[in-house]
Amino acid sequence: MNESGHLAKKPLSIIQEIEAQLEDYLRHQREEIEKTLDEKIQKERELARQQMSRIEEEVKKEWQSLEEYGSFWEQVDQERNRIMEQIKDYLQRLVHRQKEIENLARATSEDIQAINQLHERLEEIRSQSMEKAAFLKKRLEDKFGLVAEIPEKAEEPEPSLDLTAELQKLRKIKELLILESKSEGHSINLSEEAQLDNTGLDKKLSEEIRKGLNEKLGMNSSSEIEASKSNEEKAETFSRSDLAEYYRQEPANGSGEIGYYKKGKKVIFEAGELLEKMKAAVEEAKKIACKLSFISAAKEQFFLKQELISTQEGLRRYLQRILLLSEKKSFRFPALTQDILNPSVIEELADLLGIQNWGSSDDLSFFEQKINAVISAFKNRVSPPSIYFIAIKKELEV
């Protein structure tokens, strides 16, 4: 019994031992798996923390960029307000000087008329004195039989009354009056004398000067007068077509062509054409902006805005090409209008285009005012147009 019982218990203990080993193995595997899982969780948590840290850094950078962007536009707005205040200040000065110029123009014209009247009075006095002397001489001879030799005062040569300089001054005053009356797109009321147009004022002054010069210089020959008129008429018909053989064009950074005149080493911009191209670009931008105000579809708005940006950028590249030609290739602006249109003006307009956004009606309107002021001053200076083309001809030494 004892031996059989011992044999019966032995397999049972083996099974229990195996079960214990299985339990140990299972526990060990569970621990390994849990340990591995914890390690993975820790790694994933660390990766997630690093990723969140990177995202936070990027967001902080964007916030900083937005703050810098906002600060920049605040500075731009302040600068714009400062410039507008300066413009208002200059306009007030123009209005004040306008009145002074009107008074000077009127006084100068009156002085010239007074000089002519005084000269006529001198002629009358001389004539009266000669008549009186002749009367006294005859009276003494008839009444007393005396032949009186009344000494006559030797006539001194009368000073030549050359009014050409006065004419030039009045014409300059006229140009300043017209220029300042239209400066910055503002209309200033002028007196009747200051509002005379080119033809009226030139005709009035020319007649007055011609009368004085004819009397003083003895230019009474009809042939001389007719020859002078013929030369004036010939000059008035001089036009751009007379300079066609010297006209050239230069590519402008993919933004059209830049016109100029060239003879030998002399190269002169066609300033009128440059201004017309600028004006055309502004007009095109205004049309696009007008269309944009009536469009509600986002897709169409996007394409119109891109077209507006392209127009602004195209004009900026056009102006930059003009500056490059004037700096590197000795192109120059016409001397007649050098104070109105020059590299400094072009650079100012190009810089303005670089910071403006024509999507804003205020920016586009401000640039248009700048261009219109330059164009107005230019047209007043070159009126009639023959003056402009004759001046270019002389510069080219044609």
Question: Do residues 334 and 271 make contact, with C-beta atoms less than 8 angstroms apart?
Answer: yes
Nearest in space to 209 (alpha carbons), one of 123, 116, 121: 116
Check residue 9 and give its pLDDT. Answer: 52
Residue 199 has pLDDT above 50, yes or no: no
Question: Do residues 171 and 196 make contact, with C-beta atoms less than 8 angstroms apart?
Answer: no
- Report the share of the chain in percent with pLDDT over 70: 71
Check residue 236 and give its pLDDT. Answer: 62
Question: Do residues 357 and 367 make contact, with C-beta atoms less than 8 angstroms apart?
Answer: no
Residue 211: band (very low, low, confident or very high) from pLDDT cuts 50, 70, 90: low
Residue 193 has pLDDT above 90, yes or no: no
- Can the peptide bond before residue 151 be classed as cis, meaning omega within 30 degrees of 0? no
Least confident interval from 131-135, 205-209, 338-342 = 205-209
Segment of 66-70, 107-111, 293-297, 361-365 carrying the highest mean pLDDT: 361-365
Check residue 159 and give its pLDDT. Answer: 46
Q: Round to whole Å and give the CA distance between 379 and 287.
A: 25
Question: Do residues 196 and 204 make contact, with C-beta atoms less than 8 angstroms apart?
Answer: yes
Question: Hey, what are 298's tokens?
Answer: 């986002």
Nearest in space to 193 (alpha carbons), one of 87, 54, 279, 98: 98
Residue 195 has pLDDT above 50, yes or no: no
pLDDT in tens, 53-93: 889 888 888 888 888 888 888 888 888 888 988 888 888 88
Amino acid, single-letter form, for residue 163: L
Residue 353 has pLDDT above 90, yes or no: yes
In the DSSP assignment, the letter for residue 219 is -
pLDDT in tens, 221-241: 445 545 545 555 555 678 888
Report domain extents, the chain. Answer: 100-236, 239-396
Check residue 287 and give its pLDDT. Answer: 92
pLDDT in tens, 290-336: 888 888 888 888 888 899 999 999 999 999 999 999 988 889 999 99
CA-to-CA dists, residue 41 to 26, 27, 31, 283, 344, angstroms: 22, 21, 15, 66, 68
Check residue 347 and give its pLDDT. Answer: 94
CA-to-CA dists, residue 156 to 159, 160, 211, 215, angstroms: 9, 12, 22, 16
Residue 139: band (very low, low, confident or very high) from pLDDT cuts 50, 70, 90: low
Q: Round to whole Å and give the CA distance between 243 and 240.
A: 5
Q: Is the pTM of this model over 0.95?
A: no
Question: Do residues 211 and 116 make contact, with C-beta atoms less than 8 angstroms apart?
Answer: yes
Instruction: Choose between 246 and 210: higher pLDDT.
Output: 246
Widest Cα–Cα separation across the chain: 211
Check residue 385 and give its pLDDT. Answer: 87
Backbone torsions φ then ψ of 96, nearest 5 degrees? -65, -45
Residue 184: band (very low, low, confident or very high) from pLDDT cuts 50, 70, 90: very low
Instruction: Choose between 97 and 347: higher pLDDT.
Output: 347
The SS3 assignment for 118 reads: helix
Question: Do residues 190 and 133 make contact, with C-beta atoms less than 8 angstroms apart?
Answer: no
Q: What is the mean pLDDT of residues 106-135?
A: 75
Residue 152 has pLDDT above 70, yes or no: no
Question: Do residues 389 and 238 make contact, with C-beta atoms less than 8 angstroms apart?
Answer: yes
Q: Round to whole Å and give the CA distance between 275 and 273.
A: 5
Q: Round to whole Å and give the CA distance between 173 and 108.
A: 10
Nearest in space to 244 (alpha carbons), one of 68, 124, 396: 396
Give the pairing of strands 257-263 and 247-251. Answer: antiparallel
Check residue 333 and give its pLDDT. Answer: 95
Least confident interval from 106-120, 181-195, 244-258 = 181-195
Residue 266 has pLDDT above 50, yes or no: yes
Check residue 255 and give its pLDDT. Answer: 79
Residue 169 has pLDDT above 90, yes or no: no
Residue 103: band (very low, low, confident or very high) from pLDDT cuts 50, 70, 90: confident
Residue 274 has pLDDT above 60, yes or no: yes
Q: What is the mean pLDDT of residues 146-171?
A: 51
